[in-house]
Amino acid sequence: MSIKLNNGIEMPIVGFGLWKVNNDTCADQVYNAIKAGYRLFDGAVMRYGLLDYGQLRSLTCIDYGNEVESGQGIARAIKEGLVKREDLFIVSKLWNSFHEKHQVEKIARKQLKDWGIDYFDLYIIHFPLAIAYVDPSVRYPPGWEDTNGKITEINAPISDTWAAFEELVEKGLAKSIGVSNFHGQLLTDLTRYAKIIPQTLQIEHHPYLSQPTLIKLAQNKGIAVTAYSSFGPQSFLELDMKEAQGAEPLLQHPLIKKIADKHSKTPAQVLLRWATQRNIAVIPKSNNPERLAQNLDVLSWNLDQSEIEEIGGLNKNLRFNDPVNYGLDIYMYTG
Ligand SMILES: NC(=O)c1ccc[n+]([C@@H]2O[C@H](COP(=O)([O-])OP(=O)(O)OC[C@H]3O[C@@H](n4cnc5c(N)ncnc54)[C@H](OP(=O)(O)O)[C@@H]3O)[C@@H](O)[C@H]2O)c1
């Protein structure tokens, strides 16, 4: 099953997320995910490594930084005849340090080379944040700090970055383009000058952060929504994030468990179906073959409308993927 994007291209509604998929297992995981039936892969380039900003909190964070390995898994699957390139929907993202107009194509080409492909099905602005450029020969995969070990914001407006994205489409380097972690005002502003209206908006979306009006705004403008971190705090426990440790686990929430039991499904499947049934794409990540298969089975059965609403009632505007929660002095979600 897929979502028809505003350019007519079909995007699979369930994909495989590549954040925190380790480099040594990534190629096999991508290959096995293709075998299990996944066709969309959601990648990115950045890597945090160990963050330690003096007074700020340290956080060990294993990251994406696995585009080469993801490409190897795909190449193997194509070589063995499991799929053709055109059966796959490969997504990657522009990191914050490459927002300047003249940097976009260069880095997109490097990322494509790493994947071993000649176009992205979807290329996304990862965050509406522009930070100082660090040459890939100095550090790659990129991170937050500049060469002085500081995070320096720069004046690269989204309008410039978006114009460069539109050129990627003209040159055939990306079939579709989108944004991530944008709020409503920024998205609305972008649609005022864009020659190409974004095909997708990727946001944190789970019952503790359901963002119904942002989703409505995007869908009303013909922008498809992709949910990340569908299991709420689960993904952030691996990072020892205190906000996740303090939250009631969604996968064990009594309401989610009750609904899962009623449908003979798992809590994870209920959380994913809660999104897909409202035409929101999901990109769960799992390092476990059984869970990987389970996460694909979220289309052939339905929640009752009352259950969808009950789950929506758990909203408490609790965001985990906020730079502030990583100990960074960056305030992108201020009101
Ligand atoms: N645009 C952005 O800024 C952004 C930010 C975050 C994420 N993303 C994208 O969204 C993808 C998904 O988000 P995410 O990685 O944060 O988290 P997620 O998919 O919500 O959660 C992953 C966690 O859930 C566990 N899990 C997976 N399937 C499960 C199941 N069926 N039952 C129980 N536990 C399960 C995984 O453990 P196991 O691996 O052990 O199964 C892992 O701990 C990412 O990989 C990335 O591609 C984008």
DSSP, res 272: H
d(C-alpha 290, C-alpha 36), whole Å: 10
- Catalytic pick among 31, 38, 64, 123: 64
pLDDT tier, 57 (very low <50, low <70, confident <90, very high otherwise): very low
Question: Looking up tokens 């994870």, which residue turns up?
Answer: 268
Averaged pLDDT of the chain: 93
Asked whether 38 and 21 are in contact (CB, 8 A), the reply is: no
Q: For ligand 1, atom 13, which residue shows the shortest CA distance?
A: 229
As a whole number of angstroms, the distance between CA 329 and CA 24 comes to 32
Question: 281 by DSSP, 3-state: which?
Answer: strand
Cα 234 to ligand 1 centroid, rounded to whole Å:
7
Atom of ligand 1 nearest to the CA of 124: 1
Q: How far apart are CA 172 and CA 121, in angstroms?
A: 10
40-42 vs 15-17, strand pairing mode: parallel
Measured from CB, residues less than 6 Å from any atom of ligand 1 are 17-20, 42, 126, 180-181, 202, 228-231, 234-235, 238, 251, 266, 268, 283-288, 291, 294-295, 321
| Distance (Å, whole) CA 97 – CA 303 | 42
Residue of the CA atom closest to atom 45 of ligand 1: 17
**The two three-digit tokens of residue 172, written as one number:** 């055939």
Instruction: Give the span between the Cα atoms of 15 and 21, in whole angstroms.
Output: 14
For 54, other C-beta atoms within 10 Å of its C-beta total: 7
User: Per the omega criterion (within 30 degrees of 0), is the bond before 207 cis?
Assistant: no
The Cα 218–Cα 201 span in angstroms is 7
Distance 148 CA to ligand 1 centre (A): 32
Structure tokens, 97: 């340090």
Residue type, 7: N
Least confident residue range of 16-30, 101-115, 258-272:
16-30
Element containing residue 188 per DSSP (H, E): helix 184-193
Q: Using DSSP, state whether 299 is helix, strand or coil.
A: coil
Q: What pLDDT is attached to residue 69?
A: 94
For position 292, what pLDDT does the model report?
93
Distance 14 CA to ligand 1 centre (A): 13
For ligand 1, atom 41, the nearest C-alpha belongs to: 286
Atom of ligand 1 nearest to the CA of 267: 32
Q: What is the pLDDT of residue 238?
A: 84
User: How many other CB atoms are there within 10 angstroms of residue 115's CB atom?
Assistant: 22
If one residue of 204, 231, 239, 271 were mutated to test the ligand 1 pocket, choosing by the most ligand atoms within 8 A of its CB, it would be 231
Going from the C-alpha of 165 to that of each of 88, 92, 300, the distances in angstroms are: 21, 13, 35
CA distance 193 to 178: 14
pLDDT at 59 (0 to 100): 45
* Separation of alpha carbons 163 and 28, rounded Å: 36
- C-alpha distances (whole Å) from 290 to each of 33, 254, 294, 295, 297 are 11, 23, 6, 9, 11
Binding site: which residues? 126
Distance CA 11, CA 306 (A): 28
Mutate to test the pocket of ligand 1, among 228, 238, 257 (most ligand atoms within 8 A of CB): 228
**Inter-residue contact 326 to 319 (CB < 8 Å):** no
**Alpha-carbon distances, residue 57 vs 60, 100, 147, 283, 326 (angstroms):** 10, 29, 20, 29, 7
What is the reported pLDDT for 53? 44
**Which residues, in sequence order, are bridge partners of residue 125?**
94, 179
pLDDT for 62-110, tens place per residue?
456 789 999 999 999 999 999 999 999 999 999 999 999 999 999 999 9
pLDDT of 51 > 90? The answer is no
| Integer Cα distance of 232 and 247 in angstroms | 9
Q: How would you classify the pairing of strands 224-228 and 281-282?
A: parallel
Domains by residue range for the chain, with CATH = 2-326 (3.20.20.100)
pLDDT in tens, 195-235: 999 999 999 999 999 999 999 999 999 999 999 999 999 99
Atom from ligand 1 closest to the CA of residue 291? 31
What's the pLDDT score for residue 47?
66
The question of whether 64 is a catalytic residue gets the answer: yes
Cα gap 86→317, rounded to integer Å: 38
180 CA closest ligand 1 atom index: 1
